[in-house]
DNA sequence: ACAAATTGTAAAATATAGTTTACACTAATA
DNA sequence: TATTAGTGTAAACTATATTTTACAATTTGT
């Protein structure tokens, strides 16, 4: 009994939030302690971050996860 | 220039939310289309789910991610 | 136009999320 | 007490997040 829900895709507003805070990908990476390449990949939707990464970002931007990531 | 933030741990309230909705781990697994063992592991804090998993759970429980997961 | 800063990308390696199968353990309940 | 539903766990496996190094492309400032 396995209902397959359609392939769920993830969207994000990282670039907008970075702009709002005037911060570079590298700075963000340093702040939340991860690589710049990972930030870049997440921002470009290349992969789905862990919820820990998402929470750290939300913390940094002083907002809710839902304002950063959403299901398309 | 790499500031190491202490090792961040993840907490969750899945069990409470399951109780509130009176649903089993297996049912939840089926609803959000993942294995019962993964639900169990996440609930017991054995690993950190992806944000997609977290969003699917929040959707199912009709609540915000922050009500399900938090940084300890 | 030039230089510097920022962003995009790629390959190889490592870490960890998530699946599958299978079985033990712990309720709940007839 | 015996049966059943629900949960805990383990090993082997697959998928993918994340790092590191390195370099190309693009944007920004002078």
The CATH number for A46's domain is 1.10.260.40
Cβ pair A4, B33 in contact under 8 A: yes
The answer to the question of residue B29 being in a domain is: yes
Q: With a cut of 50, say whether residue B24 has pLDDT above it.
A: yes
pLDDT at B67: 97
> φ and ψ at A50, to 5 degrees?
-75, 160
Task: Give the closest residue to C6 (Cα–C1′).
Answer: A24
Averaged pLDDT for residues B39-61: 97
A4 pLDDT tier (thresholds 50, 70, 90): very low
Averaged pLDDT for residues A16-25: 98
The answer to the question of residue A1 being in a domain is: no
Residue B4 CB lies within 7 Å of the nucleic strand C: no
Rounded to whole angstroms, the Cα distance separating A32 from A39 reads 10
The answer to the question of residue B9 being in a domain is: no
Averaged pLDDT for residues A22-38: 98
Averaged pLDDT for residues A37-51: 98
Cβ pair B64, B58 in contact under 8 A: yes
**A51·B56 Cβ contact <8 A:** no
C-alpha closest to that of B64 among A65, A61, A13: A65
The answer to the question of residue B5 being in a domain is: no
Q: Mark the nucleotides of strand C covered by protein, meaning any atom under 7 Å from a CB.
A: 5-11, 16-22
Rounded to whole angstroms, the Cα distance separating B46 from B3 reads 26
Residue A40 CB lies within 7 Å of the nucleic strand C: yes
The answer to the question of residue B50 being in a domain is: yes
Averaged pLDDT for residues A54-61: 98
**A52·B56 Cβ contact <8 A:** no
The answer to the question of residue A67 being in a domain is: no
DSSP class of residue B11? E
pLDDT at B42: 98
User: What is the span of the domain harbouring residue A18?
Assistant: 10-62
Nearest-Cα distance to chain A for B49, in Å, is 6
Q: Does residue A10 sit in helix, strand or coil?
A: strand
The answer to the question of residue B13 being in a domain is: no
Q: Does residue A20 sit in helix, strand or coil?
A: helix
Q: For chain B, how are helix, strand and coil distributed in percent, rounded to 5?
A: 50, 10, 40
Cβ pair B26, B15 in contact under 8 A: no
Rounded to whole angstroms, the Cα distance separating B51 from A53 reads 9
What integer best gives the mean pLDDT of chain B? 91
DSSP class of residue B66? G
């Amino acid at each position: 009994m396995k209902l397959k829900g359609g392939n769920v895709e993830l969207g994000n507003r990282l670039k907008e939030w970075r702009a709002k805070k005037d911060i570079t990908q590298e700075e963000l990476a340093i702040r939340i302690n991860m690589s710049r390449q990972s930030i870049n990949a997440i921002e470009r939707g290349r992969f789905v971050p862990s919820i820990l990464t998402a929470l750290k970002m939300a913390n940094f931007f002083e907002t809710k996860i839902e304002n950063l990531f959403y299901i398309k």
